[in-house]
């Protein structure tokens, strides 16, 4: 059996067993969070430009473009909705990828479910199939794939979402292997584009390509037998090899989904530990006016994706450790979307503090950890450390924070009444017979 076939067989086995309630609950919460991000992301220029393009293209009215009240071919709906979901960079992450699985899975499955009449329960089942597969592939290619400059959300996300689509369409093992191959050969996305409109487009393209891969495979379109691990395949071309052991290894608790990380700051997740360090120091009484200098100690990988030294725009500001250290120490509301606009990023006070921040790399630190040392005018030093890779263990508190975040994102766009109705529908996602009502509630009036 090829490594790809073994990978797909293990992934599809998820749909053959009853998912534990905590896994179903987490999947529904991921869908709720990413749809909230997509509704708010519908206000972003990146989504507007992509949605205008797919509306211009027209075509068969299969699947809804969120906020627009139009239906277009399923692949184009996935393109637009994926761009919206990732436009704010506020969607959930998993360090196993490392990246954003939900932001590709949701638009892929929403488009296919509407086009093929699938239920909410079927979407949840296939979401878990795709999420687990994306994380396993991330482990199999770590760390070479991400270190070479590929945006894993786009690359691994295409493969995992193609497999999720194959699951939703009920494809057998052989056809699902071909869907994975067709997803793998389309996987692309460069970290060089972080801080630009290109990053959310990555998620949209990944979802579009996943829909195409799954539907072509359903028609009998064939790829190779080992596209992931074979010679000159995905792992060889886009990484430094494929670890079959890592792909097969079960995570603690049996599901990668249980280690999902939700965002409560509207910036790259690599900056969140820095923001939490700043929060801790402010809670201890630190006065930003007394700061002479700041040193951030971060893992070396941060250099490649969240260390824009002098961001020139709101988008770039989300990927700047130094600016986010300044924002956090100044007590700015980093959960608010407006904090990351061009004017705030260029603000005189924030820039003055930003320029007193030094970043130092320490290979001993885990991927999402930061240590902060703040030197004050009286020569005293204040220290804090935080590892943002630890998921929330209090699920009731997590639910409360997610629902508050959802309403803060959705209500300004759709209004409080529609925001309440959409939240209620998403909390009952497993019982939806059709996703049409959900799509209709996202239409801006």
pLDDT at 398: 93
Q: Which residues pair with residue 23 across a beta bridge? A: none
Q: Which two tokens stand for residue 181?
A: 């191959």
Q: Is the pLDDT of residue 445 over 80?
A: no
| Residue 376 burial (CB count, 10 A) | 15
Q: 377: burial class by Cβ within 10 Å (0-12, 13-18, 19+)?
A: exposed
The percentage of residues in the chain with a pLDDT greater than 70, rounded to a whole number, is: 100
pLDDT at 234: 96
The percentage of residues in the chain with a pLDDT greater than 90, rounded to a whole number, is: 95
What are 90-131's pLDDT values in tens digits? 999 999 999 999 999 999 999 999 999 999 999 999 999 999
Contact 319, 268 (CB under 8 A): yes
pLDDT at 226: 97
Helix (H) or strand (E) holding 379: none
Q: What average pLDDT does range 1-26 have in this prediction?
A: 93
Helices (H) and strands (E) in the chain, counts: 20, 6
pLDDT at 16: 83
| Residue 366: φ, ψ to 5° | -65, 165
* Alpha-carbon span 300 to 62, nearest angstrom: 45
* Alpha-carbon span 293 to 54, nearest angstrom: 49
* Alpha-carbon span 394 to 120, nearest angstrom: 26
pLDDT band at residue 347 under the 50/70/90 scheme: very high
* Alpha-carbon span 212 to 220, nearest angstrom: 13
What domains can be seen in the chain, in order of their start residue?
3-262+396-441 (1.10.4100.10), 269-387 (3.30.1330.120)
Contact 274, 325 (CB under 8 A): yes
Q: What average pLDDT does range 191-198 have in this prediction?
A: 94
Q: 396: burial class by Cβ within 10 Å (0-12, 13-18, 19+)?
A: exposed
Q: Which residues pair with residue 307 across a beta bridge? A: 320
pLDDT band at residue 281 under the 50/70/90 scheme: very high
| Residue 297: φ, ψ to 5° | -110, 120
Helix (H, G, I), strand (E, B) or coil at 70: strand
pLDDT at 295: 98
């Amino acid at each position: 059996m090829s490594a790809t076939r073994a990978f797909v067989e293990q992934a599809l086995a998820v749909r053959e067993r009853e998912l534990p309630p905590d896994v179903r609950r987490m999947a529904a919460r991921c869908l709720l969070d990413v749809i909230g991000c997509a509704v708010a992301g519908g206000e972003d220029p990146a989504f507007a430009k992509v949605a205008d393009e797919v509306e211009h293209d027209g075509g068969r009215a299969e699947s809804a473009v969120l906020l627009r009240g139009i239906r277009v071919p399923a692949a184009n709906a996935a393109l637009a909705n994926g761009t919206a979901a990732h436009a704010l960079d506020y969607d959930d992450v998993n360090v196993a990828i490392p990246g954003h699985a939900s932001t590709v899975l949701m638009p892929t499955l929403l488009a296919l479910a509407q086009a093929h009449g699938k239920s909410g329960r079927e979407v949840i089942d296939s979401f878990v199939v795709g999420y687990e597969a994306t994380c396993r592939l991330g482990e199999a290619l770590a760390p070479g794939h991400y270190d070479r400059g590929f945006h894993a959300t786009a690359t691994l996300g295409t493969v995992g979402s193609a497999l999720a689509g194959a699951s939703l369409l009920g494809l057998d093992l052989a056809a699902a292997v071909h869907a994975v191959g067709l997803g793998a050969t389309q996987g692309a996305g460069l970290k060089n584009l972080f801080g630009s409109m290109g990053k959310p487009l990555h998620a949209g393209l990944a979802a579009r390509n996943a829909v195409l891969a799954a539907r072509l495979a359903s028609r009998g379109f064939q790829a190779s037998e080992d596209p992931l691990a074979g010679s000159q395949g995905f792992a060889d071309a886009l990484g430094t090899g494929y670890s079959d052991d890592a792909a097969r290894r079960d995570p603690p608790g049996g599901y990668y989904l249980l280690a999902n990380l939700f965002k409560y700051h509207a910036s790259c997740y690599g900056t969140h530990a820095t923001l939490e360090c700043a929060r801790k120091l402010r809670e201890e009484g630190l006065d930003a006016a007394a700061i002479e200098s700041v040193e951030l100690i971060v893992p070396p990988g941060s250099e490649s994706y969240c260390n824009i030294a002098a961001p020139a725009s709101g988008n770039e500001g989300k990927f700047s450790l130094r600016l986010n250290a300044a924002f956090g120490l100044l007590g700015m509301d980093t959960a608010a979307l407006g904090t990351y606009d061009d004017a705030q990023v260029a603000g005189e006070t924030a820039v003055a503090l930003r320029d007193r921040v030094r970043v130092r790399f320490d290979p001993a630190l885990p991927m999402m950890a930061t240590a902060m040392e703040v030197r004050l005018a009286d020569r005293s030093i204040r220290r804090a450390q935080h590892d943002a890779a630890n998921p929330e263990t209090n699920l009731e508190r997590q639910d409360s924070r997610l629902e508050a975040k959802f309403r803060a994102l959705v209500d300004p766009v759709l209004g409080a009444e529609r925001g309440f109705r959409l939240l209620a529908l998403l909390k009952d996602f497993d019982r939806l017979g059709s996703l049409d009502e959900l799509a209709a509630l996202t239409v801006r009036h």
